[in-house]
Amino acid sequence: MNAPSPASPTLKVLPLGGLGEIGKNMTVVEYDGKIIVIDAGVRFPTAEQVGIDLVLPDFSYLKDRAQDIEAIVITHGHEDHLGALPFVIKQLGGARNAPKIYGRPLTMAMGRSKLEEHRLREVQLTDTPLSKEIKLGKFSIELIHCTHSIPDACNVAVTCDAGTLLFTGDYKFDQTPVDGPPADFLRLARFGKEGLLMLLGDSTNVDRPGWSPSESLVGPALYDVFAKQRGRIIVTSFASNLHRVQQVIDAAADLNRKVCLLGRSMKKNTNIAKALGILNIPDGLLVQPRELENLPDHRVVVMSTGSQGEPLAALRRMAFRDHPQIRIHEGDTVVFSATPIPGNERAVNETIDKLYQAGAHVVTHKDAPIHASGHGYAEEMKMMLNLTKPKYVMPLHGDHHRLQLHKKLAVSVGVPEKHVFCAENGLPVEIDQRGARFGKPVPSGVMYVDGSDIGETADAALRDRRSLSEDGLFVVVATIGDDDGKSVAEAELLFRGVPFKHDEKFLQAVREQVDASVERAAADKIHDLDEIQRILHDDIAQLVWTKIKRRPVVMPVVVAV
């Protein structure tokens, strides 16, 4: 009788970001103790996350396992797939302990620029050719050409003894792309013929029926809009949408207009793409902001960051008349060559309204076909499923509604419902000889970049920041006797940004409450200053709410003399 063969290792697929949300994409593939990481993205903070610069995946699962990571593979250069890379490297022990980074040339150039900003110059980034198997320990990877809204986007295949996983990254099946051939349909079909273990697919536009429009339609539409304008033209788009940058440059050159780039990321990405030969910019076409004063309005196109209403972006500053170099005036036309990311609609609409108030005319995708999404629609997702014929499917990159829609779509083309895993961040899918199932969840969530610090900013801190921005700060200084704990001087009051009219009766009521709270603490023989401050905080906050119906941040200070 033959002895049973030893069980093969379990393949674990662990999403750390990108599920239940749009952004901060990051997925771990683990097999026999070794790891491949696909993408390291960020998400931009919501309006409620006051003072937060970036939102990162919680990659604490990887923190003590740097030696097990064979590679980090980046599908393309957008922030929601690349932006967290410097922070991941720092958490893994710095540049000298960093795993190798793989991706296409533009992606690696953008990654290198980010790492240099963080002084992580020793990290090895590898420009990876397409359709070539790269052996990485127990894994092999292969990058497959796809079309998206940035050059050098790719699908990523990860193969181990358990089978092959295909990460689509962000993609669309653009039949007439502006920068080269269509997607590699033959290679995708070969996965279907050879047997694909799991497809991990982009879910962004699963709620849009049909096929996404080609990027090649945008250039002529931009030209038509530009040709009708007699004043300045200000175009806003994603800084990384280099196809759109090229089309704006082409239209401006044909209409004898100069182009001024505004926004640090816009300038940086354009310089990188120009150095790689991805952008073709005629000599003398680009001008600096200071040169605009010497040009008539009909000779000017400004290309700016700020398509998502970001508070510090150039366009929003122009809209609020806070930009140091460009002031919106009558006759300007602002072209939004982008659509709002879900959640950004309010900020975008507010920016548009302010632009109208400043005298500009605004053109959006609702007025002309000046934007094409880089994400495929439902029919393109069906094509991806039918080409690759995966055994299992894990929808990625979308809120829970989109993940569920992607599941229904996969089932509609023949994938068994039990083979589609709508996971969530921190919930792994484990695959072995018995099949696939959800595994034990690992800690997941978010990490915040607050200035230069990375950490888990507490909800209480965010609430305080929101209160400061809305209701201001109220500082109360109480001076008590060191021996008996009673007040020895009138309370000092300092308020900043508290929206109420100066009312001496109200202020006197606050001082009286301070004395009463201090007296109560003394009577109860409470001598701990922190505890006295807690009592003061609660009493003063309640009084302020009762009197003026506001909740400023109350900061009590107790001094014992």
- Using only C-alpha atoms, what is the Rg of the chain? 28
pLDDT tens-digit profile of 33-46? 999 999 999 887 65
Label residues 35-62 b or e (16+ Cβ within 10 Å = b).
Answer: bbbbbbbbbbbeeebbbbebbbbbbebb
Residue range 456-480: average pLDDT? 59
CATH 3.40.50.720 fits 459-560, yes or no: no
CA distance 167 to 139: 15
CA distance 177 to 152: 12
Q: What is the pLDDT of residue 46?
A: 54
Catalytic residues: 202, 375
Strands 233-236 and 154-160: unpaired
pLDDT tens-digit profile of 111-127? 999 999 888 989 999 99
Distances in whole angstroms, Cα of residue 258 to Cα of each of 127, 226, 273, 300, 376: 34, 12, 19, 5, 33
pLDDT band at residue 559 using 50, 70 and 90 as cut-offs: confident
Considering only 2-6, 366-370, 478-482, which range has the smallest mean pLDDT? 2-6
DSSP state of 559: E
pLDDT tens-digit profile of 225-278? 999 999 999 999 988 899 999 999 999 999 999 999 998 889 999 999 999 999
pLDDT tens-digit profile of 403-433? 999 999 999 999 999 999 999 999 999 999 9
CATH 3.60.15.10 fits 11-210+373-455, yes or no: yes
Could you tell me where the beta strands, DSSP code E, fall in 250-379?
258-262, 300-304, 333-336, 361-363
CATH 3.40.50.10710 fits 215-363, yes or no: yes
All structural domains of the chain with their residue ranges: 11-210+373-455, 215-363, 459-560
pLDDT band at residue 47 using 50, 70 and 90 as cut-offs: low
Residue of higher predicted confidence among 519 and 412: 412
Residue of higher predicted confidence among 24 and 456: 24
Residue of higher predicted confidence among 85 and 22: 85
Q: What is the pLDDT of residue 540?
A: 81
Q: What is the pLDDT of residue 462?
A: 44
pLDDT band at residue 500 using 50, 70 and 90 as cut-offs: low
Q: What is the pLDDT of residue 454?
A: 56
Q: What is the pLDDT of residue 496?
A: 67
The pTM assigned to this predicted structure is 0.80
pLDDT band at residue 457 using 50, 70 and 90 as cut-offs: very low
